[in-house]
Structure 1
Amino acid sequence: MATFLLTVVRHGETRENKEFILQGQMNTNLSDVGYHQAGLAGKRLRNQLFTHVYTSDLNRVMQTSQAILNKNVLSKSPHVKVDKRLRERGFGEVEGKTVSELRALVEKSGQLPQNFKPPGGESPLEVKARAEAFFHDLCNDLAGEAGIGQVETLQHAAMADGSAERDCGTEGNVLGEWNVQEGDSKSSVTQTSNSASKTDTGVTVASNSQQQNVDVNLASNSQTEDTEKYDARVLLVSHGGTIRELFRHLIDDLGCKVKSKRFAMQISPNCGISQFVVQLREGGKRPVLSCQFLHDKSHLENVVDFEL
């Protein structure tokens, strides 16, 4: 058996978050408040070791990841992968428009929100499919590193257009500048952080600091954490809608217990932090998950709180 700690962080605030604009897969950037939030998340996690880091390839997430890792005192050379499957839901023709415009389209269609697909965009079910595919590969990669073979994660079939297939994009060490290796090439790219930004979607934002299933010591400012307890420690930084669909997979398909599914299915606050313990078992058995806490934002108490 192998066990890994999964820490999930939503990116910091963007201008479009504040203005209720759907940014989807538009390549937008953090606002000043978003950078401050990311720095506070980094301070909260500064003494937590990360052996693997996974981020969306969109600027607002990469900027958040960089801010977190820049504050970290233990994760000097984590294994970092930029994975397109962690992008926010694609809203197609609705990107750049308001949340209320999306709601109007859903109502006009007569479809359930989870089935609605904007022209040129994705449905929540399709986002869930790529989140499942990502988690399936993550578990099997870590199982392989631990030498326990493949595991079952109830991964559903890839989407018809193939976008749920493995596409890790780029990887490299992102402490300081983003020196990212493209595939197998040795060339590097420096990621800049100076442009505009837009908003993720979700009907309800987890706007309180409620913590779910707090069974472990969350004091990331303490260096007394048992470094031998986990075979790997994963930091995953993504978008509100994608995180929600990942959590839906962990809860509905893999049986992870939470105190309130309704709370779990809310959109995480910007730079909200959630944490899970994942046990990978030999013999192709399904992972066993334990939720430590969800959507915590206690580290952001002194930041102006913008809801989606």
Structure 2
Amino acid sequence: SMMTRFALTVVRHGETRFNKEKILQGQGVDEPLSETGFKQAAAAGIFLKNVKFTHVFSSDLTRTKQTTCGILEKSKFCKDMAVKYDSRLRERKYGVAEGRALSELRAMAKAAGEECLMFTPPGGETLAQVKMRGKDFFEFLCQLILKEADEKGQFSQGAPSNSLETSLAKTFPLGKTCAPACNSDSSAPGLAASVLVVSHGAYMRNLFDYLVTDLKCSLPASLSRSELVSVSPNTGISLFIVNFEEGREVQPTVQCVCMNLQEHLNGVTETR
């Protein structure tokens, strides 16, 4: 049976002044990037410069828009790509806690007798609601890629899709996932698409939880349990390969190549 595969690269926005000061922004506080944040976005862009993206999605908040712009500016292939801004990629809504210190959220949770992570402040979204938004966006993306692959009849022209894979393999430790680029096994087609998504810490944590818990995503051996549940650093980069078998109404199989990668930040120093 035919397979459709695509790559999903997910990046958290760069640092804002409020990230540094540990103040919750959620959806209601729309801070721009700090000077450090712009440097991080540029560093992520340089790291990803050889990757050929076919689709770019960003949350519609200022910090993600600016990060996306900073990444694409450095790209060899995607400088002029149209970005789709999607409100489904917005940060978790923190209700009354937005604009307040993280320590205040912790105090509110404690007063309610709950763990901070599981606590929903008044007017905020529950973790389940954020995860539903993640699932919603992911399913929309899968449908879009499958529909486009269908229309293209991608199987008749293997070459362009292979170049997507080759461009990824230059940057990421693809290893066994990159069958077409590394051997001539024709049963695994090249990538039908390579998607960049720029989003937010709490949102990404819930999206990744959906991929790992619900879709039983396979994980790199080097990934520890604590890394799996931690929030991505600013401009942390994660890569997933999503694989569909044609004509079967089944969940896709998902493979995580890396999660919350931050080696591109080694040269980026905090600006005081």
Instruction: Report the TM range for the smaller structure's normalisation.
Output: 0.7 to 0.9
Higher helix share: 2
Q: Does 2:228 align with 1:285?
A: no
Aligned length: 234
Q: CA deviation at 1:123?
A: 1.6
Structure 1 counterpart of 2:239, one-letter code = Q
Once the two structures are TM-superposed, the CA of residue 110 in structure 1 deviates from its matched residue by: 1.8
CA separation of 1:276 and 1:142: change in aligned 2, threshold 3 A: same
Task: Tell me, yes or no, if structure 1 residue 125 matches structure 2 residue 86.
Answer: no
Q: Deviations over 1:97-128 (max 9, x none)?
A: 11110011111112344542211111222111
User: Structure 1 residues 131, 217: closer, same or farther in 2, change over 3 A?
Assistant: same
Residue deviations 1:270-300 (CA, integer Å, cap 9, x gap): 0111101111222211101111111111111
Q: 1:2 aligns with which of 1, 4, 16?
A: 4
Indicate whether 1:235 and 2:196 are aligned. Answer: yes
What secondary structure, in the 3-state scheme, does the structure 2 residue paired with 1:122 have? coil
What is the distance in 1 between the residues matched to 2:150 and 2:15?
39
TM-score by length of 2: 0.81
Describe the shift of the 1:229–1:305 C-alpha distance in structure 2 as closer, same or farther (beyond 3 A): farther
Contact 1:254 1:289 in 2 (8 A): yes
Aligned to 1:21: 23
SS at match of 1:147: helix
What RMSD, in angstroms, separates the aligned Cα atoms of the two structures? 2.0
Q: Percent identity?
A: 44
Distance, in Å, in 1 between the alignment partners of 2:191 and 2:142 is 14
Deviations 1:230-282 (A, max 9, x none): 11000000000001000000000000122434312211010111101111222
AA aligned to 1:140 is Q
Looking at structure 2, the residues matched to 115 and 267 of structure 1 have their Cα atoms a distance apart, in angstroms, of 14
CA contact (8 A) 1:114 1:123 kept: no
Cα offset, 1:77, TM superposition:
4.7
8 Å CA contact 2:38, 2:70 repeated in 1:
yes
Give 2:202's aligned amino acid.
G
Distance in 1 (CA, whole Å) between partners of 2:232 and 2:11 is: 8
- How many angstroms does 1:140 deviate by? 1.1
> CA contact under 8 A between 2:36 and 2:270: conserved in structure 1?
no
TM-score for the superposition, normalised by structure 1: 0.72
Which residue of structure 1 lines up, in the alignment, with residue 266 of structure 2? 301
> What does residue 41 of structure 1 align with?
44
Instruction: Show the counterpart of 1:276.
Output: 240
Q: Indicate the SS of the match to 2:134.
A: helix
Secondary structure at the counterpart of residue 83 of structure 2: strand
For 2:240 and 2:52, locate their aligned partners in 1 and report how far apart those are by CA, in whole Å.
15
Quote the Cα distance in structure 2 between the aligned partners of 1:77 and 1:144: 24
Instruction: Find runs of 4+ consecutive structure 1 residues off by over 6 angstroms.
Output: none
Partner AA of 1:288 in structure 2:
T
SS of equivalent residue, structure 1 residue 48: coil
Q: Cα distance 1:305–1:255, how it changes in 2: closer, same or farther (>3 A)?
A: farther
Matched to 1:233, the amino acid is: S
Runs of 5+ consecutive residues of structure 2 not aligned to the other structure: 152-167, 173-179, 182-188
Match of 2:98 among 95, 98, 119: 95
**How far apart are residue 79 of structure 1 and its match?**
5.0
- Give the letter for the 2:238 counterpart: S
Residue 219 (structure 1) aligns with: 171
Q: 1:305 to 1:263 in 2, by over 3 A?
A: farther
Matching residue of 1:31 = 34
2:74 to 63, 68, 71: 71
Letter in 2 for 1:219: T
Question: Contact 2:50 / 2:170 at 8 angstroms: preserved in 1?
Answer: no
Kindly indicate whether the alpha-carbon contact (under 8 Å) linking 1:27 and 1:58 is maintained by their aligned counterparts in 2: yes
Aligned to 1:175: none
Report if aligned partners of 2:43, 2:268 keep a CA contact under 8 Å in 1. Answer: no
SS at structure 2 position matched to 1:39:
helix
